[in-house]
Amino acid sequence: MTTTHLDPGRPGEPAHPAAPDLVTAQQARGRDLPPAWGWPARGGGRAANVEPGMMWQATTSQVCGLFPFAVAGGAAPRGVPVGRHLHTGEPVGLDPAHWLRSGLVSNTGMWIQGQPGIGKSTIVKRLLTGLVAFGATAVIPGDVKGEYTALVEHLGGTVWRLGRGHHSLNPLDAGPLRAALRAAVGTERTQLVETIRTRRLSLLEALIVIVRRGPITVTERRLLDTALDTVRDHTTTADGRADDGEPVIGDILNVLTSPPASLLAVTAADTETRYRREARDLVNTLALLCTGAMRGLFDRPSTVTTDLDTPALSLDISALDHDDDDVVAAAMLSAWAWAASAITAAGARGHHRTVFRVQDELWRALRVAPGLVELSDRVTRLGRSRGEISAQVTHSLDDLDALPTPEDRAKARGLAGRNAITVLGGMNTADLDRLHAITPLSDAETAMVHGWAAPPTWVPGQLHPGRGKYLIKSGGRTGLPIHLSLTSDELDLYHTEHTWHPPRHQH
Tens-place pLDDT, residues 140-180: 988 988 999 999 999 999 999 998 888 888 988 887 788 77
Query: Pick the residue with more confidence: 226 or 118?
Result: 226
**Which residue(s) pair with 159 in the sheet?**
314
Does the pLDDT of residue 94 top 80, yes or no? yes
Q: Do residues 175 and 338 lie in contact, with contact meaning Cβ atoms separated by under 8 Å? A: yes
Asked which of 123-127, 151-155, 216-220, 408-412 is least confident by mean pLDDT, the reply is: 408-412
Mean pLDDT (whole number) for 117-130: 89
Residue 167, strand partner residues = 162
**Separation of alpha carbons 306 and 273, rounded Å:** 44
pLDDT for 131 beyond 90: yes
Task: Find which of 39-48, 250-259, 345-354, 450-459 is predicted with most confidence, using mean pLDDT.
Answer: 250-259
Q: Given pLDDT bands bounded at 50, 70 and 90, which one contains residue 7?
A: very low
Among 113, 118, 75, 120, residue whose Cα is nearest residue 94: 75
Please give the pLDDT value at position 112.
Answer: 92
Q: Give 77's pLDDT tier (boundaries 50, 70, 90).
A: low
* Contacts for 7 with CB less than 8 Å, ≥ 6 apart: 15, 16, 17, 18, 40
Average confidence (pLDDT) over 102-110: 88
pTM equals: 0.76
Cα distances from 41 to residues 15, 19, 110, in angstroms, run 14, 6, 70
pLDDT of 312: 92
Checking if the pLDDT of 331 tops 70, the result is yes
* Arithmetic mean of pLDDT over the chain: 80
Each residue's pLDDT tens digit, 16-52? 444 456 666 656 655 555 666 776 777 777 777 777 7
User: What local confidence, expressed as pLDDT, does residue 157 receive?
Assistant: 93
Nearest to 216 by CA among 105, 236, 225: 225
Residue 226: which of 260, 184, 263, 192 has the closest Cα?
Answer: 263
Confidence of residue 240 (pLDDT cuts 50, 70, 90): very low
Q: What pLDDT is stored for residue 156 in this prediction? A: 93
Choose from 277-281, 333-337, 451-455 the range with maximum mean pLDDT: 277-281
- Who wins on pLDDT, 360 or 13? 360
Check whether 382 has a pLDDT greater than 50: no
Share of the chain above pLDDT 90, in %: 23
> Is the confidence at residue 255, as pLDDT, over 70?
yes
Question: Residue 247 pLDDT > 70, yes or no?
Answer: yes
Max mean pLDDT range (239-243, 416-420, 468-472): 468-472
Mean pLDDT of 412-429: 87
Please report which confidence band the pLDDT of residue 313 belongs to, taking 50, 70 and 90 as the band edges: very high
Distance CA 359, CA 113 (A): 12
The Cα–Cα gap between 367 and 362 comes to 9
